[in-house]
Structure 1
Amino acid sequence: MWPWEHALFAYILYSVISRIWLRRTPSALPVLVLVVASSGPDLIDKPLAWQFGVFSSGYALGHSVFFAVPLAVFVGLLAWGYGRPGVGLAFGVGYLSHLVGDLIPIYAEEGELSLDPVIWPLGERSTTDHSQGFLDRFLELFVPYSEEFWTEFLSMEFSAYTLLQFGIAGLAVFLWLLDGMPVLREGYLKLRARLAPDPARTVD
């Protein structure tokens, strides 16, 4: 999955879990944490592998359940101690959903579920050419992805995985609207409060 796909997938899970566990809809800060955390494994592994050659694959420490689960628990307990359970939950859902999200396209492409991307160092997904650099490697992956998408879009013949992506995006947007458009809502309220005249300064 790409960063925006991870964020949408994570929002679906967080919206549902927040309603069930915290019994409230998501607010701005947890959603922002969720979005960043949903790309957390890639923010760790991809630069270290593609640019610096620390790992031989873009699926390494950050994607490993042996690192991700303890990290999610630690951040969750820390946030809970500071009275921010929603933030801790958002981080855990965002980070761990990334691991699940990475397994979906692999299963869609290969027809079998491989846990190698999420059990480093016991397994490893692929080998990276470290001579490429981060930007070159990103473009090498993104260009074919975008070309394939536009080919499907123009022909209106979508693969099962593309339809799944549309479904995830549509459901995420629906839940975001149902939740009252967090982040945008808070931003609008702050802007309105800033622009509203101060009654104490009005002159009769």
Structure 2
Amino acid sequence: MWPWGHLAVGYLCYVAAIKLRSEGEQTLFTLVAVAVGTQFPDLIDKPLAWSTTILPSGRSFAHSLITATLIIGIVYWIGQRLDSKEGAIAFGIGYLSHSIVDLGPGVVFGVLTGDLSQLKWTTYLLWPLLPSPPYPHDSSFYEHFVALTLDPYMITQLVLFGVAVAVWIRTGMPGAMEIQQRVHKHFRQGRETEQ
């Protein structure tokens, strides 16, 4: 999945979690936390696998649910200490959504319909206990971007991104006012300093 697809799915999962838990709210901080969480596995694994040979695949160490459990646990512990538990929850939802949706529809539907050969694509979830699958286009950023096509899966991701933007607008564009206030405050301070 591409970054915008991960962002959309993670955001929509976070909004759903707020509704289901009947607590938490979208703020600039929680939206940044969920956004970072949705990109975190790729920010670790892709450079360490594609630019160096430290990791065997762009879906290995940080995509693993073993690593995710440790990192989310640490982030949650820090969040509790800093009285930012909701930010930690947002990060965790974004992170887990990334690893899960990277399975892709073919794998999920294949397994659900009894095609157990699709299980070979799920092994990254338990890396290093299981090896990473042999993904095509998993050797460089260039190769990955050259393989980009406007296929049904890509269109689905773009539609999901549009739905996420619509939900963000429908829920009052949370975080936008905070940014506007910070920008105004910055410019106001800048003018006061000049005088």
Counterpart residue number, 2:132: 124
Q: TM-score, normalised by structure 1?
A: 0.76
Which structure has the greater CA radius of gyration?
1
Task: Report SS of the residue matched to 1:63.
Answer: coil
Identify if the C-alpha distance between structure 1 residues 46 and 163 changes in structure 2 by more than 3 Å, giving closer, same or farther.
closer
Identify if the C-alpha distance between structure 1 residues 85 and 22 changes in structure 2 by more than 3 Å, giving closer, same or farther.
farther
Aligned equivalents of 1:170 and 1:5: distance in 2? 10
Gapped runs of 5+ residues in structure 2?
A: 189-195
Counterpart residue number, 1:152: none
Q: Does 1:187 align with 2:195?
A: no
Gapped runs of 5+ residues in structure 1?
A: 150-157, 197-204
Counterpart residue number, 2:48: 48
Percent identity of equivalent pairs? 29
More off after superposition, 56-65 vs 180-189: 180-189
Identify if the C-alpha distance between structure 1 residues 174 and 25 changes in structure 2 by more than 3 Å, giving closer, same or farther.
farther
Paired amino acid for 2:146: V
C-alpha displacement at 1:171, in angstroms?
Answer: 2.2
Aligned equivalents of 1:47 and 1:182: distance in 2? 32
Task: Report SS of the residue matched to 1:123.
Answer: coil
Match of 1:173 among 165, 179, 186: 165
Counterpart residue number, 1:115: 122
- Structure 1 residues 16-44: Cα deviation after superposition (integer angstroms, max 9, x where no partner): 21233252431001111211121111111
Q: TM-score, normalised by structure 2?
A: 0.79
C-alpha displacement at 1:63, in angstroms?
Answer: 0.8
Counterpart residue number, 2:7: 7
Aligned equivalents of 1:61 and 1:11: distance in 2? 23
C-alpha displacement at 1:11, in angstroms?
Answer: 0.4
Give runs of aligned pairs for residues 1-204 of structure 1, distance below 5 A.
1-21=1-21, 23-105=23-105, 107=107, 112=118, 114-121=121-128, 122-126=130-134, 137-145=140-148, 148-149=149-150, 159=152, 161-192=153-184
Aligned equivalents of 2:19 and 2:178: distance in 1? 19
Q: CA RMSD in A?
A: 2.8
Paired amino acid for 1:142: F
Counterpart residue number, 1:202: none
More off after superposition, 84-93 vs 111-120: 111-120
Identify if the C-alpha distance between structure 1 residues 108 and 96 changes in structure 2 by more than 3 Å, giving closer, same or farther.
closer
- Paired positions, count: 181
Contact kept in structure 1, 2:45 and 2:58, CA below 8 Å: yes
